[in-house]
Amino acid sequence: MSSQLYLGADVGGTALKYVLTDSRGEIQRQGEVATDPQSTAETIERLGHAVAPWRSALQGVGLACAGIVDPQAGTLGRAPNLPGWEDSDLTGAIGAVFDGLPVAVANDVNGALYGEYRSGAGRGADSLVMLALGTGVGGGILQDGHLVIGADCGAGEIGHMVLDLEGPPCPCGNLGCLEAWAGARGVVRAARERAAGEAATDAFRRLVTEQAEALTPRHLSELAAQGDPTAVALYHEVGRRLGQAVGNLVNVLNPDRVIIGGGLAAAAGLFLEVCREQAVGQILARAARQVPIVLAELGPHAAAVGAAWLAREVERID
Amino acid sequence: MSSQLYLGADVGGTALKYVLTDSRGEIQRQGEVATDPQSTAETIERLGHAVAPWRSALQGVGLACAGIVDPQAGTLGRAPNLPGWEDSDLTGAIGAVFDGLPVAVANDVNGALYGEYRSGAGRGADSLVMLALGTGVGGGILQDGHLVIGADCGAGEIGHMVLDLEGPPCPCGNLGCLEAWAGARGVVRAARERAAGEAATDAFRRLVTEQAEALTPRHLSELAAQGDPTAVALYHEVGRRLGQAVGNLVNVLNPDRVIIGGGLAAAAGLFLEVCREQAVGQILARAARQVPIVLAELGPHAAAVGAAWLAREVERID
């Protein structure tokens, strides 16, 4: 094991995943502890116990967390997935356990983006846009090697780009957000709508009825992979809307690369070409039409790996 | 007159506007020379003659130009307004006349944005988004005090953000670009469409018929200012679509401020409140809903003033 290690953690509602990376960002060890949904301090103490054997080698600690994270202040604001952690001092809680080590905190999608930038699909690029297709759609922007946090730590909410003022409803209260088409919840909603329509195949209708509340995008992508026209059309629309958003983002930022991650990206074969075609048709600057739209590489550890990188570069980030 | 002057120029299809600014960015003198649409070199020579009396005080030269400008290479690429200048070496042409001075070049909207940032509506901010509502809709992004140029010099094409895949046609070939609603051409097109509809007032219909090909947004905003419901509704839609775009941009970048400029901004009283309301309704991060949406302050000299600032800070920009 390397003598210089960086600890990166990604806090979810039930578990905190962590990695120990070496100075090249390679994962040397990984694990998880249970999240205490009411106590930041208790959860970080559990993390401290879990990594105690490597404490002397630790050079820095990074923590990624869903919600509005202020990396400068080291605090968590609004956090729908961790209501008991809202308005907590993340840096303080980490400092109490990992006394004297540099600490970095970040929003979870920004953590994942930074991980991809340093160790994954974003290597060698300088400006990146990331879309994370999960239950909802998260996003992150990297500009000149720095995460764009925003004046109120509110940047990167790409999932709430409104693509049609009369589009389907989004949990945020608006209509026609990208998330309403390209998040898992939106895909399931659209599937139910299609199943209720005239044009749906019998197989599609049967799947939606049988799965009922248990219906997931995976059921639908499996049916699409078998060639079912209704399921194929559903994913075609995911790609078209994703492409509309990607085209808009490239026209605004013209990044080196666009990275698509999150659980839905496993079915990218069903929508990535449509996405690319739609995006390219919208991009004004000819050279920018070549922008690579690539899949994330680091999988579920991306945010923890990115948090470890941020801890390592904490002076650079501040 | 100050002993240290910066020359900033803004090249249009028929005229090159220039300013001489002092070290605080204040305009000390302004003027224009005719653009030679076929020759970059000839135009810059005319500029050299015009400012010859102040040659010894000049500390730098900046040039802003519509089209795809590469500030690093100092070149102009695609330039629909100046086809005879396409693929020319702007920095070389300036260097041939203003030997030995630092030179900066920029896209015209980026020039205007930088001018507003240093001397106008963007003073004191660090991250800005600008929309310039002219014949079309231009845009610019400033992040951490630096213009976002993009990997292929294609950033800031905010006018081509697609807001509705089934929206009105845009000259770029797509449907539903912001420009198709909020550029002068789009406003005129929408007015003709409304005039042909059932709901139009007689006054509105008469204006559109009488002005025919000479119809401009100014005619329409004058009618709206008199309270004509059809003209008011037309500008309401401009505001709603602008707001949809601004909301999207704030969700992506969360800038310190959004600046609205260009000729149409003179009628902002007819659409800015609707724009703000639509944008605020879309913005996810609560604090970001307070984002100031302000009007540009520098008027038609913004790009020249910004070019002078860029020349002054050429080392900082590179």
The shortest C-alpha distance from A113 to chain B (Å) reads 14
**How would you classify the pairing of strands A103-107 and A58-65?**
parallel
| % of chain A with per-residue pLDDT over 90 | 94
The SS3 of residue B52 is helix
CATH topology of domain B124-296: Nucleotidyltransferase; domain 5 (3.30.420)
CATH topology of domain B5-117+300-317: Nucleotidyltransferase; domain 5 (3.30.420)
Beta carbons of A150 and B244 less than 8 Å apart = no
Q: How confident is the model at residue B1 (pLDDT cuts 50, 70, 90)?
A: low
Instruction: Tell me which chain A residues have a C-beta less than 8 angstroms from the C-beta of B242.
Output: none
Task: List the beta bridge partners of residue A30.
Answer: A19
Residue in chain A nearest B140 by alpha carbon: A252
pLDDT of residue B155 exceeding 70, the answer is yes
Cα of first residue to Cα of last residue in chain A, in angstroms, is 29
Amino acid making up residue A303: A
How many whole angstroms separate alpha carbon B90 and alpha carbon B93? 5
Q: How confident is the model at residue B79 (pLDDT cuts 50, 70, 90)?
A: confident
Kindly report the pTM of this predicted structure.
Answer: 0.96
How many whole angstroms separate alpha carbon A213 and alpha carbon A179? 19
Instruction: Tell me which chain B residues have a C-beta less than 8 angstroms from the C-beta of A255.
Output: 150-151
Average pLDDT over residues A183-190: 97
Beta carbons of B285 and A174 less than 8 Å apart = no
For A269, the token pair is: 């074969």
How many whole angstroms separate alpha carbon B108 and alpha carbon B63? 8
For A255, the token pair is: 């990044």
Sign of CA dihedral B78, B83, B86, B90: negative
Q: Which of A148, A253, A281 sits opposite B155 (nearest CB)?
A: A253
DSSP per residue over B194-252, as a string?
HHHSTT--HHHHHHHHHHGGG--HHHHHHHHHTT-HHHHHHHHHHHHHHHHHHHHHHHH
Yes or no: say if A235 and A275 are a contact pair by the CB < 8 Å rule: no
Q: How confident is the model at residue A20 (pLDDT cuts 50, 70, 90)?
A: very high
Amino acid making up residue B75: T
Q: Which of A157, A160, A252 sits opposite B155 (nearest CB)?
A: A252
Domain ranges for chain A? 5-117+300-317, 124-296
Q: Which of A161, A284, A290 sits opposite B252 (nearest CB)?
A: A161
Average pLDDT over residues B100-127: 97
> In the prediction, which pLDDT does A287 show?
94
The shortest C-alpha distance from A308 to chain B (Å) reads 24
What is Dmax (Cα atoms) for chain B? 65
pLDDT of residue A316 exceeding 50, the answer is no
> In the prediction, which pLDDT does B236 show?
98
